[in-house]
Amino acid sequence: MHILTIGAGGMLGRKLTERLVRDGLAGQPVHSLTLVDIVAPDAPVGFANKTDCVAADLSAPGTAARLIALRPDVIFHFAAIVSGEAEADFEKGYRINLDGTRDLFEAIRMAHVLDGYCPRVVFASSIAVVGAPLPYPIPDEFHSTPLTSYGTQKAISELLLADYSRHGFFDGIGIRLPTICIRPGLPNKAASGFFSNILREPLVGKPAVLPVPDTIRHWHTSPRSAVGFMIHAATMDLSVLGARRSLSMPGLSATVGDQIEALRRVAGDEAVALIRREPDAAITAMCEGWAPGFTATRARELGFTAEDSFDDIIRAHIEDELEGAL
C-alpha cells in the first residue's frame, strides 16, 4: 500500500498521516508514504516503513507527472489556497486550486493510457461550491452556484473529477468539507477563521476577536471527523456513487451564539469573557452568504459520521490538542 498525500504539511494532511501511521488503511498496513507540500512536510514519528517528504509546487510543470510515476495506490489531494487568499489573489488561486488539480488528473490519465494505472483519488472539496440564496437545510440536489473564486475553483475541479472517473482514468470521490472547527495552531488566511479563533484562544486563556453577530449560522465539523471522512472515502465502494462523485459531508449547524454557549458549558464564564466583539460589516456580509447547514443525506447513508453537538467538537479539541485538560 503506497499512499500519496498532496498538501501533507497542512493541518488535515498532518492529522491524516498520523491516523494512517497508527491504523493503516482498511486493515492493511501502509508500506510507503509520499508526503508533498510547498515546504517539505515532517516525517511521521514512529513509522518504520518508507517515507518520502517532498517539497514541490503541484502547479509547476512536470511536478504531477513525477509524483504519479511513483504509482501510488491512493492519492489524497488537499493542496489548495484557502478562501480569503484565493479571493485576494485571483491568479494564484486559479493556478494552485484549479491548474494544479488539472495537472494531477492529466498525469494520472497519461499513466492510465500507458499501462492501465487506476488509483483511488480522494479530493478535498468544500461547501463553498454552493452560494446564496440558500435554503436551510441545503439538500444534496442543490445546484453549484459558488460566489467566491475558491468555491468556483473547487466546483470546476469536482466536474473534472467526475468526468475523469467516468472515463475510468481513476476512481475518484470529492469530499465537500464543512468549515473545520476547532482548527489547531495559529490563524490562517481563511475568511472563516474566526469560528475557530473564538474557541481556540479562550480555551488557553487568550483573547479572541468576534467580527460578526451571534446570529450568524454555519456548518462545521472537527478535524477528527474530517480525517475520518477522508479515510472512509479511501476505503468505501465508490460504485454506489454513480455519476455524482462529490458528497456534502455531515456536520453540525450552529450559530455563533451556540458556539459561545458550548464554550461556556465546557470551559466556563471566564473563557467566554475573553471574546471581544469588534463588528466588521464586510466579514458579516460575506458570512451571510455562507451555507447554514446541509441534509448530507447521501453521505450519512454511505456511512460518513460527524459530531452531534458543539460541546463534542470542543471536547475533541481539548483531547487532541490540549492533552485532555484546560
What is the phi/psi pair of residue 50, to 5°? -70, 130
Angle at which helices 256-267 and 310-321 cross, to 10°: 60
CB 193 within 8 A of CB 218: no
* DSSP-assigned states of every residue in 182-207: SPPSS--S-TTTHHHHHHHHHHTT--
* DSSP-assigned states of every residue in 19-58: HHHHH-BTTBPP-EEEEEESSPPPPPTT--SEEEEEE--T
- Read off the C-alpha cell for 168: 475510468
Catalytic one of 94, 117, 150, 164: 150
Question: 136 an active-site residue?
Answer: no
Q: Is 137 exposed, middle or buried (0-12, 13-18, 19+ CB in 10 A)?
A: middle
Distance CA 291, CA 136 (A): 8
Strand segments (E) across 241-305:
246-248, 252-255, 275-277
Annotated active-site positions, please? 150
